[in-house]
Amino acid sequence: MLNKLMKRYALSKQGAIDFIKACIACILVDLSLMIPVGLLYYLVEDLINGNKIDVIGYVIKTIGCLILIVVTNYFKYNLTFFTTYKESGVRRISLAETLRKLPLSFFSKKDASDLTSVILNDSTTLEHNFSHIMPQFVGSIISTCIIAISLFFFNWKLAIASLWVLPVTLLIVGLSNKVQNFFDRKKKKAYLKCSDGVQECIETLKELKSMNSEEQYMEGLKTKIKDVEKKSMLAELGTAMFVMSSTILLKFGIATVALVGSSLLIKGEIDIMTFFMFLLVVSRIYEPMGGTLINLAVIISQKLTIERMNEFNNFKIQKGDKKLSNKGYDIEFKNVGFGYNANEKVLENVSFVAKQGEVTALIGNSGSGKTTVSKLAARFWDVDNGTITLGGQDISEVDPEALLKNYSIVFQDVTLFDNTIMENIRVGKKDATDEEVLKAAKEANCDDFIKRLPNGYNTMIGENGSKLSGGERQRISIARALLKDSPVILLDEATASLDAENETQIQEAISKLIKNKTVLIIAHRMRTVTNADKIVVLKDGKVTEMGTPNELLEKNSIFKEMVSKQKASLEWNIV
């Protein structure tokens, strides 16, 4: 039962246990609220029969009822609200942990707004549902069933007259499942498009202004916002048609009890007190069910939310040994084939060795698969066929986090945090001393520009380093890699944003770093790789050439052609 609840409602084991407790608490509250109905029944019976009223007894019983209601509500509040908020925290942390372990193949299919929506919006939706709706829904159903069964012991005809509306209304709302899911999916899709548009607008505002395209872009964004409004209204209307008709139908239960009860009373089949009791019960029994029917639409609509959340939880996580058994740090690709999507080949039969203590350069035209090779080497994705080994050990059998401890990586797209420069560099090695950070910064040629900043190394650099230039951001990223000082170094266009002088200085720093290390470097600038020990040329996802720079220059090679073209481009002048 716990496993079913965990899977169906995206709960932890403790969350499933707490949910059951919350449902029991709601049942007890609903049943406790029926006790005053019983007291009123006996009071009226005493009055009609002319019995002596035990005022003190009724006062004591009333106080006892109030205490019972307060106590049950106290437990209900704690078991529904407090435990749900704890579970919500667990859910968000669990999602974050899952995200941390998911392969990049998952993120390539999702955009940032979609991921943010699941962690924030969808989690908030479930938090509200499981604190305000779900336990109350289950509690009202079970408590109503208990009361319904007890009614049959008094008079089965009046019991049917009282309860026939309940299964009918539940059936009506239940049949609306497909309709509501249809509208909810449309609304969610429109919402995500709108979120993407807003995020894109913020991220590309500089480009939009430079191209004088703000007005045109905003018109498109307005269309997306209106589409969200339209889809939301349709979703609400689709829900209201079923829910409101069911709620109205519930009221007919009181009418049928009155009609059937009057008929039975005239025939002498029931006494006045039985009739009165049923009228009291039906006036109360529909109270929790009325709220339940309104919220049943919300419960049905949360199916999509849970599906999106379970998509995270059920995605295959990369696993492997926590300890490496590699001998050295040579990276070897053996007949590697890979595609980001089905029926797509980005790499095909790629084979080469990046030896420890050497610089292996990957070159080729855009789209040849260079960056893909570097990411596969770090197991950001798993290969479709072939193997990649680190020191003879298949990296697909190694836990990604354990593997990445041996890698220092600098990619073309630099990611920085809204923190000080000191702490951004320290990301490379969390326990690094200030002296170690300063040393890495100097080796990466960061020291000069950092000292010119208002607070030096303690300067806050803004979101993703917005206060720094592209070259400065890239040098911070290189400083991180230098600080980490791992045996394997992956550099993807690491010097792309640097001028010739800084590029030379960075290459000098890297040359100090690579002793007895495996270096895999990707570059479009041929001068960056002229001192490499080996060059691997990729074309259309295949290795077409391999050798030292001098060997390739002596042949009629693609490398020689690329060098010639870049030399020609340097001689270009504005006429």
Q: What CATH number did the domain enclosing 253 receive?
A: 1.20.1560.10
CA distance 528 to 532: 8
pLDDT for the residue 513: 65
Residues 308 and 394 in one domain: no
Domain that holds residue 475: 414-485
Residue found under tokens 């059937």: 260
pLDDT for the residue 340: 83
pLDDT for the residue 282: 81
By CB atoms closer than 10 A (0-12, 13-18, 19+), residue 190 is: buried
Question: At 492, which helix (H) or strand (E)?
Answer: strand 488-492
Residues 71 and 143 in one domain: yes
Q: Among residues 306, 116, 122, 123, which one has the least CA distance to residue 195? A: 116
CA 162 to each of CA 136, 158, 167, 275: distance values in angstroms, whole numbers, following the listed order:
21, 6, 11, 11
CA distance 107 to 446: 32
Give the pLDDT band of residue 512 (cuts 50, 70, 90): low
Tokens of 468: 């720094």
Per-residue pLDDT at 113 exceeds 70: no
Per-residue pLDDT at 2 exceeds 70: yes
Residues 418 and 400 in one domain: no
HEC profile of 214-259: HHHHHHHHHHHHHHHHHHHHHHHHHHHHHHHHHHHHHCHHHHHHHH
DSSP secondary-structure letter at 78? I
Mean pLDDT, residues 37-62? 83
- Domain-terminating residue out of 485, 503, 525: 485
Sheet of 407-410: strand order equals 407-410, 488-492, 518-522, 359-363, 534-539, 542-547
Per-residue pLDDT at 497 exceeds 60: no
Per-residue pLDDT at 34 exceeds 70: yes
529 vs 21, more confident: 21
pLDDT for the residue 476: 87
Distance of CA 278 to the CA centre of its chain: 50
Give the pLDDT band of residue 212 (cuts 50, 70, 90): confident
pLDDT for the residue 108: 65
Residue found under tokens 């919500």: 88
Q: Give percent of the chain with pLDDT exceeding 90.
A: 11
Mean pLDDT, residues 57-72? 90
Give the pLDDT band of residue 49 (cuts 50, 70, 90): confident
Mean pLDDT, residues 218-230? 86
Q: Among residues 113, 93, 133, which one has the least CA distance to residue 202? A: 113
Give the pLDDT band of residue 236 (cuts 50, 70, 90): confident
User: What are the start-end ranges of the H helices in 251-363?
Assistant: 252-267, 272-314
- Beta-bridge partners for 522: 362, 492
pLDDT for the residue 289: 67
Per-residue pLDDT of 140-153, as tens digits, reads 888 888 888 888 88
- CB 270: neighbour CB atoms within 10 A? 21
User: What are the start-end ranges of the H helices in 79-213?
Assistant: 83-101, 104-107, 112-116, 123-132, 134-152, 156-163, 165-175, 177-203, 205-210
Mean pLDDT, residues 342-352? 87
Per-residue pLDDT at 114 exceeds 80: no
Contact 448, 456 (CB under 8 A): no
Residues 302 and 338 in one domain: no
Q: For residue 442, what is the domain's CATH number?
A: 3.40.50.300
541 vs 344, more confident: 541
Residues 136 and 213 in one domain: yes
Q: Among residues 140, 177, 117, which one has the least CA distance to residue 298? A: 177
115 vs 391, more confident: 391
Torsions phi, psi for 460 (to 5 deg): -75, 130
Per-residue pLDDT at 521 exceeds 80: yes
- Domain-terminating residue out of 436, 455, 485: 485
- Beta strand pairing status for 331-338 and 407-410? unpaired
Contact 322, 405 (CB under 8 A): no
Mean pLDDT, residues 243-264? 83
Give the pLDDT band of residue 70 (cuts 50, 70, 90): very high
Mean pLDDT, residues 147-165? 86
Residues 81 and 92 in one domain: yes
Contact 541, 350 (CB under 8 A): yes
pLDDT for the residue 500: 64
**Cβ neighbours of residue 119 closer than 8 Å, sequence gap 6 or more:** 92, 95, 96, 99
Tokens of 171: 């059936």
CA 45 to each of CA 49, 51, 276, 531, 550: distance values in angstroms, whole numbers, following the listed order:
6, 8, 10, 103, 109
Per-residue pLDDT at 575 exceeds 60: no
- Domain-terminating residue out of 272, 294, 313: 313
Q: Among residues 98, 86, 93, which one has the least CA distance to residue 15? A: 86
CA distance 9 to 280: 36
Contact 472, 450 (CB under 8 A): no
Mean pLDDT computed over every residue of the chain: 82
CA distance 421 to 443: 15
Burial state string for 96-126 with b = 16 or more CB within 10 A and e = fewer than 16: eebbeebbeebeeeeeebeeebbbebbbebb
Residues 166 and 201 in one domain: yes
Residues 467 and 380 in one domain: no
Domain count, the chain: 3
Contact 485, 436 (CB under 8 A): no
18 vs 470, more confident: 18
What value, to the nearest 5°, has the Cα angle with vertex 39 and ends 36 and 40?
Answer: 90
pLDDT for the residue 291: 67
C-alpha radius of gyration, the chain, whole number: 35
Residues 368 and 452 in one domain: no
Contact 368, 539 (CB under 8 A): yes
- CB 486: neighbour CB atoms within 10 A? 20
Per-residue pLDDT at 287 exceeds 80: no
Per-residue pLDDT at 529 exceeds 80: no
Tokens of 418: 């809204």
Residues 378 and 516 in one domain: yes
Per-residue pLDDT at 561 exceeds 90: no
Mean pLDDT, residues 207-233? 83
Residues 218 and 358 in one domain: no
Torsion of CA 55, 60, 64, 67, to 10 degrees: 100
Give the pLDDT band of residue 387 (cuts 50, 70, 90): very high
Residues 139 and 226 in one domain: yes
Q: Among the ranges 19-28, 36-45, 524-533, 566-575, which has the highest mean pLDDT value?
A: 19-28
CA 221 to each of CA 60, 199, 238, 247, 420: distance values in angstroms, whole numbers, following the listed order:
65, 11, 26, 38, 35
Mean pLDDT, residues 448-471? 84
